Structure 1
Amino acid sequence: MILYFTGTGNSEYVAERIGREANDEVINLFERLREKDFTEIHSERSWVIVTPTYAWRIPRILQEWMKKTKLSGSRDIYFVMTCGTNIGNAGKYLKSLCREKRLRYFGCLEVVMPENYIALFKTPTEEEALNIIRRAEKSIEKAAAKIKNGEKFPRISASAADKLSSGIINDLFYPLFVHARKFYTTDSCISCGKCREVCPLQNIRMNNGRPVWGKDCTHCMACICRCPKEAIEYGKHSRGLPRYTFPKEKILS
């Protein structure tokens, strides 16, 4: 069974592609995360977690959900992580999570996809994004083939920089950077409430037709990237940058 979390669509696409190739069920975890639903899930087939990479590890909201949710049936589990550059030493922490959950770790595979972290990095143009997605197909096919055949993913060697990124940098990243204080709306806002709908932590409420962000933010970038009017900014950094969501109409047409 394939479980996925996505902010702007990269992991959704990868999960669905693997699902088609491996002929496996695909479940979006958005509502479970949003509603803090830790109800047991059962599968006789291997578990496959498809997730974006946040500071060179899986998102903490997903990690906490996994810790609190019983995955019954199969004890084998794969992780497929979409990222803008690399996943660092994420495998070390996934192995630890699997030991805690008494799951057999079958490896972690990275799939480089278009960058969506508009809070700190540059997002791609549509043409750049399409080229990155096309290059990612080989990695997606490789992951699907290994999963379908029940083979472990190849082991990834972590460099000193990888260990630093997934370790100390990840520890500092959340308290220093993961907050919603810099989000704001411009006069282009049409009060549609889309940002509130796509927030996985219900961290956005509408006040006099404008979104107001709370303190429970995971920096998934769904609100800023999925705004139909590009009316949300993150400080000064996002100004003039293209908003990225997975271009389904271009890839699937």
Structure 2
Amino acid sequence: MILCYSGTGNSRYIAQRIADELQDNIVDLNEKIKTNNYSSIETGGDVILVVPTYAWRIPKIVSNWLYKTKFIGAKRIWFVMNCGSEIGNATKYNLMLANDKHLDYMGTKQILMPENYIAMFNAPQLEEAKGIVEKAEINIKETIKYIREGKAFLKPCHNLYDRFMSGLVNPLFYHFFVKAAAFKVKDTCTGCNQCVKKCPMNNIQLIDGKPVWGKNCTHCMACICYCPQEVIEYGKKSVGKPRYRFEQLKIK
């Protein structure tokens, strides 16, 4: 079984590629998390987790869901993490999670995909993003091959920087930076409700026809990147930056 959480579509695409090749089913963790659904699920023997990288680890909301949910029949777990640059030392924490869930750890695969974190970085333009996805195809095929053959992913090498980012920086990043206070909406907002629907944390509500953010944000960038009018900004950091969502690439 494939468990997938996706902010702006990268992980969803990778998960679908794996599902199509292995003829497996995908569980939408966005919906599970949004509805606070922690009921037990029958996974079969193999679990494949496909997620984006948040602050050099798997998203905290995903690890929280994994710890709260009982897997029936699960024996092995592969971690597939996409990122705009690197995943740091995420493998250490994925191994810990697998051990805590009493699952055989089958490794972590890093796949470079277009950047979406416009609260800090620049998202690529359309053609550049398509090129990044095309280059990712080699790693996606390799990922599928290892899982199909029941093999563990190759163990990556980590340096001091990787350990520092996933270890010390990750909790500090969540504590000091992952907040919704900077999200603002322009007066031209039509109140289409798209941001409310896309938020996996139920952190946005429409008040007087305009979105208002609460304090329970994970910085997935779904609200700002899926806004059809592009009237949401993250302070001044997102001004003038292209919004990224995988569907715009029209890659099947």
Match of 2:196 in 1: 196
Aligned length: 252
Distance 1:145 1:232 in 2: 40
Residue 223 (structure 1) shift? 0.1
Q: Which amino acid aligns with 1:236?
A: K
Distance 1:107 1:30 in 2: 23
Distance 1:90 1:82 in 2: 12
1:62-119 deviation line (CA, Å, top 9, x unaligned):
0000000011113100000010001110000011111111111000001100000010
Distance 2:93 2:17 in 1: 26
Match of 1:39 in 2: 39
Distance 2:25 2:139 in 1: 20
Match of 2:230 in 1: 230
Q: Contact 2:129/2:249 (CA < 8 Å) preserved in 1?
A: no
Distance 2:36 2:158 in 1: 33
Distance 2:144 2:58 in 1: 20
Q: Contact 1:22/1:145 (CA < 8 Å) preserved in 2?
A: no
Q: Which amino acid aligns with 2:97?
A: L
Distance 2:141 2:118 in 1: 28
Aligned-partner SS, 2:78: strand
Distance 1:73 1:195 in 2: 36
1:198-217 deviation line (CA, Å, top 9, x unaligned):
00010001010000000000
Aligned-partner SS, 1:58: coil
1:111-134 deviation line (CA, Å, top 9, x unaligned):
100000010001110011000000
Match of 1:165 in 2: 165
Equivalent positions of 1:41-80 (< 5 A) are 41-80=41-80
Residue 45 (structure 1) shift? 3.6
Match of 1:177 in 2: 177
Distance 2:126 2:134 in 1: 12
- Deviating 4+ runs (over 2 angstroms): 247-250
Alignment TM-score, normalising by the size of structure 2: 0.98
Match of 2:133 in 1: 133
Match of 1:12 in 2: 12
Q: Which amino acid aligns with 1:182?
A: A
Aligned-partner SS, 1:50: strand
Q: CA RMSD in A?
A: 0.9
Q: Which amino acid aligns with 1:247?
A: E
Aligned-partner SS, 1:8: coil
Distance 2:21 2:156 in 1: 23
Structure 2 residue ranges without an equivalent (≥5):
none
- Are 1:124 and 2:163 an aligned pair? no
1:121-160 deviation line (CA, Å, top 9, x unaligned):
0111001100000000011111111111111100011111
Aligned-partner SS, 1:190: coil
Q: Which amino acid aligns with 1:5?
A: Y
Residue 249 (structure 1) shift? 5.6
Residue 43 (structure 1) shift? 2.2
Aligned-partner SS, 2:246: coil
Match of 1:240 in 2: 240
Distance 2:214 2:33 in 1: 17
Residue 188 (structure 1) shift? 2.5
Q: Which amino acid aligns with 2:213?
A: W
Match of 1:24 in 2: 24
Distance 2:204 2:141 in 1: 37
Distance 2:200 2:54 in 1: 15
Distance 1:143 1:207 in 2: 44
Distance 1:74 1:175 in 2: 33
**Do the aligned partners of residues 183 and 248 (structure 1) sit closer, same or farther apart at CA in structure 2, a change above 3 Å counting?**
closer
Aligned-partner SS, 2:250: helix
